A = this chain, B = another copy of it.
Amino acid sequence: MDGAKTGKSFSQEYYHQPGTIPGTIIIHEDAQQPQIVLMDYNPTDLVERRIINPEECSDYLRTQSVSWVDVQGLGNGDVIHRLGQTFDLHPLILEDVVNMAERPKIEDYEEQLVIIARMVVPNTNNRSFYSEQVSLVLGPHYVLTIQEESEHDCFDSVRARINKNKGIIRREKSDYLAYSLLDAIIDGFFPVLELYGERIAELEEEVITNPTSETLKQIYQVKRELLQLRRGIWPQRDAISSLIRDGSHLISQEVSIYLRDCYDHAVQVLDMVENYRELVSGLMDVYMSAVSNKMNEIMKLLTVISSIFIPLTFVVGIYGMNFNTEKSPYNMPELNWYWGYPFCLGLMAVIAGSLMLFFWRRGWLTNSFEINQK
């Protein structure tokens, strides 16, 4: 059992090292080198370029156009540090961003709104999912997003909408961009849930017809992964809820309506996860019952066969005794009867027949011989 492997990390793996100074940036060895892409747009113009030095962003941040700086990979402490300076991030923000196992949350630092979110992407190989921390920093005219690595991404649709100027995104401010990105992250849970919906449907089929220990393993696996999904979406929902409730001067009234929609989706995801968890836990009960059921069938078969043949074996045992028929007329006279053997066979046929009738009326015969055919 190896759980839902994640792009690079999942909370079990990177713990807070106790004793680190608050605000310390720890670079994990296997972390990817950062790639920075900047998109700067207004309703009419669009700049999209690859950035090497974080400082290059400074000019764009000063303009009124919306700047989206997307960082993928956390493998270079120096770059991260300079990013922090360019965007004037609080040391604790930087620590949270780099620590890849943070709990999703939204923190309001007056001039910046920091969203630590968790993104999931279906993993079709093992029918599980990749999970990755995404940090959004929303400022007056910019959005900074920081992802753990560049392979998996759920922002393509937003990029496309900016590039092709679809919808209202190019006409709106940075708050709408932040909303769009958050919405893309939340909506990214649906395909993963669909996968689990399928897996559960298959397990439902399997658990009644042919419960094996592989089924059991799968049920536990799904249960475990749903637990991880819940840990990903639950705090996200809470965070959006408190953002809507408390508001922020960085988010306009209009975008707030959109956030409500985003919140609805988060609630729906959570609902479905809880639903699936109930189904899976019901499946575990069904599994237990189905295994017991199967045991009953096995025992019935054993009982039928034993019950029929043990008395017969007793009968043939009797006529295999060596009492001396010559010493007494009472000593097994049957052995010398003319119809002795046919009588004996007949007796056994009657015994076997009665027992089979007994079992047949209980419905055991049909059941026992049809195990697994169902």
Contacts and interface: CB of A to CB of B under 8 A. Distances in A.
A312 interface: yes
A41 to B, nearest CB: 16
Contact of A231 (B223, B271, B284, B324): B271
A283 B183 CA distance: 35
Residue of A103, A154, A323, A342 most packed against chain B (CB within 10 A): A323
Interface residues of A, number: 128
A117 to B, nearest CB: 14
Given A21-B167, A293-B291, A227 B103 contact: no
Interface stretch (A58-66, A138-146, A189-197, A243-251): A189-197
Contacts of A279: 224, 227
B317 A103 contact: no
A321 B303 CA distance: 26
B317 A335 contact: no
A204 to B, nearest CB: 5
B374 A213 contact: yes
Contacts of A327: 336-338, 340
A305 B307 contact: yes
A161 interface: yes
A16 to B, nearest CB: 5
Contact of A289 (B284, B302, B314): B284
Contact of A258 (B22, B307, B372): B22
Interface string A315-339: 0111111111101101110111111
B320 A331 contact: no
Interface in A257-302: 257-258, 260-261, 264-265, 267-268, 271-272, 275, 278-279, 282-296, 298-302
17 contacts: A1-B204, A17-B187, A22-B183, A22-B261, A92-B258, A95-B261, A102-B268, A103-B267, A216-B286, A216-B289, A309-B314, A313-B317, A320-B321, A324-B336, A327-B340, A330-B338, A330-B339
Given A306-B306, A319-B321, 8 more contacts: A19-B187, A208-B216, A227-B279, A289-B291, A295-B295, A319-B322, A323-B341, A324-B340
